[in-house]
């Protein structure tokens, strides 16, 4: 029996595979928590009026009900993150809807979040951070 993978997730952090982003969700600010990102609502963003600024780069995943339940457990849905249906502006110009894990302000407001990831691309942020770290390590010790 084939399991239907008909639930669409807009993944931006650890759930996002090592791939280019498929599109963008607007209206959030991405923050580094130390090991993974959180997208918090940008209160200055005019929802349903503008589609510029406050970007979060996402990959679209098609999953089944069991997988989304596992994701809800990983993301501590309702505590750390809230899964909401969000508009995704695709790179090819189309628009779709997908489930998106938005940070719960009550949880994250009590924690130190830094730095702000201005371009909303966790993969690019991680790559730049690793490249900076690599530049500060003497690789000759491994010769």
Instruction: For 2-56, write each residue's pLDDT tens digit.
Output: 566 889 999 999 899 887 899 999 989 999 998 899 999 987 776 655 556 689 9
Q: Give residue 115's pLDDT band: very low, low, confident or very high (50, 70, 90).
A: confident
CA atoms within 13 A on the CB side of 14: 10
CA distances from 97 to 22, 60, 82 (A): 13, 10, 16
Residue 87 CA to residue 133 CA, distance in Å, equals 35
Residues 100 and 58: beta-carbon distance below 8 Å: yes
Q: Minimal CA–CA distance to 101: which of 63, 125, 75? A: 75
Residue 87 CA to residue 83 CA, distance in Å, equals 13
């Amino acid at each position: 029996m084939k399991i239907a993978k008909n639930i669409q997730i807009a993944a931006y952090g650890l759930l996002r595979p090592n791939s280019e982003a498929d599109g963008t969700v607007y209206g959030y600010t991405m923050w580094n928590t130390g090991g993974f990102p959180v997208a918090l609502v940008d209160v200055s963003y005019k929802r349903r009026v503008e589609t510029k600024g406050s970007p979060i780069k996402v990959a679209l995943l098609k999953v089944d009900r069991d997988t989304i339940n596992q994701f809800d457990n990983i993301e501590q849905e309702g505590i750390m993150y809230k899964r909401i249906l969000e508009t995704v502006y695709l790179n090819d110009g189309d628009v779709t809807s997908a489930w998106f894990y938005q940070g719960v302000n009550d949880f994250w407001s009590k924690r130190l979040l830094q730095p702000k990831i201005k371009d909303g691309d966790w993969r690019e942020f991680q790559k730049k951070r690793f490249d900076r770290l690599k530049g500060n390590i003497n690789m000759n010790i491994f010769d």
